[in-house]
A = this chain, B = another copy of it.
């Protein structure tokens, strides 16, 4: 019952979040959508680097994008964050029974 599809998705989102640049991007997006150019300005990082990390985040389902003219705007997909949160909550629930010995 352990390594199912749900865990695969959880691992993808965890891995996507677990990197400083991507986390910086995520936190920036939590105040609203941004284009790559915005993120370049905010972070001072090279364009290809930002695009690389945006792709990782998008592939993991943590963000979505929409194109508008020459610009591509990225935004958080809070549904993924929500399900990640639930996944952690479930983990913790296993610790609540009498037999368990979690800290």
Contacts and interface: CB of A to CB of B under 8 A. Distances in A.
A91 B14 contact: no
Interface string A40-84: 000000000000000000000000100000000101111101101
Contacts of A102: 29-30, 32-33, 75-78
Contacts of A23: 2-3, 7, 10-11
Interface of A: 2-3, 7, 10-11, 14-15, 17-20, 23-24, 26-33, 64, 73, 75-79, 81-82, 84-85, 88-89, 91-95, 97, 99-103
B94 A30 contact: yes
Nearest to A80: B103
